[in-house]
Structure 1
Amino acid sequence: MIVLDCDDLFETWRQQARWLLSHQIDPDQVSWSVKEDADLFASDDHYPPHNGPFQARVPLELLALLQNAAQYCGDQRWSLLYEVLWRVSHGDRTAMLAGDKLGSEVHRRLKQVSREAHHLHAFLRFIALPPCNVGKDLEVKAALLETQKLPEYVAWHEPAHDILHSASQHFVGRMGKHRWMIATPKDGVFYDGERLIHKRQCPAAWQSLARNADDPHGELWLTYYSHIFNRARLNPKVMQGHLPTRFWKNLPEGPLIPALISEARTGKQRDGQARQIAERRGKVIRSGH
């Protein structure tokens, strides 16, 4: 068994896969793992570091398919891609199709990646930072020395797949020339008004800034959200399908949602009115003379 470590980088995996194909190494003989697991496997075969005689030809659409599917985090993340590449390079293009057993798994992963990118666009909340507060944080300044600029907006997000780098391009045109930063438990991005910088290991200073940012308009937003929450039309299963519970903890309105759902279940779904509104005194309307 040949064990490889691509460091979860598609370009590194692509070079390794090209080398494997050139030596006609079957997918059953290859595994991608982390370095500390490498001693669990061994190979009796010795292959030269340079490419072998076999030259594989694959369609360009396959490379795009594999690159998008590579953002999926899960079991057999890289081995599955090599198995698809192996079959297509040997003339079996059905491995790219959703009707094929292997292709079906690839397309399932593509859907998961696309859905996770949608979640980033829909549920990420930027918080505006007062310049004076950021400027006092020397640790943040040190972490941003590469740009010599500080963010105006920050956000914290916890994606299930490696979609941050590609999906965050969505905000480049929408935020104009404003500087913003998104931090995650794994990686981070910073847009300095001109270019998007991606850090595969999110600096601790970025994470601290994004997680501890105080939204100056938070109370106003919570008041607004609690009043527009429609208890009369609440369907918890549908709601959780569109807004998974794993995102609630990182949304400003997240702490309100369980209580609002509870209110709906205990009667508010029947009358459809928030308690604060129902208790207000009505106005007397007098007819004119």
Structure 2
Amino acid sequence: MIILDCADAFDTWRQQARWLLSHQINPDQVSWSVQQDADLFASDTDYPDEPGPFRARIPLELLELLQNAAQFCGDQRWTLLYEVLWRVSHGDRTAMLAGDKLGSELHRRLKQVSREAHHLHAFLRFVALPVLDNAEDVAAKAALLEMSCLPEYVAWHEPAHDILRTASEHFIGRMGRHRWMIATPKDGVFYDGKQLIHQPVCPEAWQSLARNADDPHGNLWLTYYSHIFNPARLNPKVMQGHLPARFWKNLPEGPLIPALISEARTGGQRDGQAREIAERRGKVIRGKPAVPSPAADTNQAP
């Protein structure tokens, strides 16, 4: 058995897979796992370092599928990709199709990756940082963060898959020339206004800044969210399907959601409005008395 470690990097895995294919090494003879201080190839058999004689023609469509599916975090993450690559390189392109057993798992992972990217776009919350007036303080803090300049907005997110590097490109167009940073428990990205910089291992200073940023408009947003919440239309199952509960803790409105759901179930859903709104006294609208139409006047002469 050959044990490989690609450090969860697609480019590294691709080089290793190319080497394996060139030597016609079957998928059941290789496994990928993270091992500290281990050789790249651990096996009872000595294999040459040079590429083998076999040359496979791989469709570009397959490479794109494999690169996207490589963002999926789970068991047999890299082994499944090599199994698909092996079958296609030997003429069996059904492994790329959702109707195939192996292809079905490949496309399931692609859907999970795509959905996680959508979650990043929908549930990430940027917080504006205060502007530092002192140039020396700006330079010192930028050095602490290992950045050439400070971000104007920061955000903390906890994705289930490795989608940050590709999915964060969405914000380049949305944020214009503003500088921003996104930190996760695993990696981080920083956009300096010109280019997107990805750190495979997120610096602790980035994580601390993103997690501890104080939103100056937080209370205003919470007031707005609590007043637009419509308990009469609440469907918790559907809500958690679109907004999974694992994201609540990192949303500014997250702490309000359980209480709003509880109030909806204990009366708000029946009343059709939030408790604070229901307790307000309404205004009496006094209109002019209605003027009867001529046809309704029974005393009118024919």
Smaller-chain TM-score range?
over 0.9
Q: Counterpart in 2 of 1:142?
A: 143
Cα displacement (A) at 1:145: 4.3
Cα displacement (A) at 1:282: 1.7
Whole-angstrom distance in 1 between the partners of 2:286 and 2:132: 53
The TM-score normalised by the length of structure 2 is: 0.91
Whole-angstrom distance in 2 between the partners of 1:45 and 1:57: 27
Cα displacement (A) at 1:286: 3.2
Cα displacement (A) at 1:276: 1.1
Q: Counterpart in 2 of 1:213?
A: 213
In structure 2, runs of 5+ residues without a counterpart are 290-302
Percent identity among equivalent residues?
81
C-alpha change, 1:76 and 1:140, in structure 2 (3 Å) is farther
Cα displacement (A) at 1:275: 1.2
Deviations 1:179-209 (A, max 9, x none): 1110000000011111111111111111111
Cα displacement (A) at 1:106: 0.4
Q: Counterpart in 2 of 1:262?
A: 262
Q: Counterpart in 2 of 1:117?
A: 117
Deviations 1:150-191 (A, max 9, x none): 111110000000000000000000100011110000000011
Q: Residues 21-170 of structure 1 correspond to what in structure 2 (within 5 A)? A: 21-36=21-36, 43-132=43-132, 136=137, 140-146=141-147, 148-170=148-170
8 Å Cα contact 1:139/1:205 also seen in 2: no
Q: What is the identity, as a one-letter code, of the residue corresponding to 1:2?
A: I
Q: Counterpart in 1 of 2:299?
A: none
8 Å Cα contact 1:57/1:89 also seen in 2: yes
The TM-score normalised by the length of structure 1 is: 0.95
C-alpha change, 1:134 and 1:186, in structure 2 (3 Å) is farther
Q: Secondary structure at the match of 1:197?
A: strand
C-alpha change, 1:140 and 1:204, in structure 2 (3 Å) is farther
Q: Counterpart in 1 of 2:298?
A: none
C-alpha change, 1:140 and 1:4, in structure 2 (3 Å) is farther
Confirm or deny that 1:278 pairs with 2:278: yes
Q: What is the identity, as a one-letter code, of the residue corresponding to 2:13?
A: W
Q: What is the identity, as a one-letter code, of the residue corresponding to 2:226?
A: S
Q: Secondary structure at the match of 2:160?
A: coil
Cα displacement (A) at 1:140: 4.1
Whole-angstrom distance in 1 between the partners of 2:133 and 2:34: 40
> What is the count of residue pairs matched by the alignment?
287
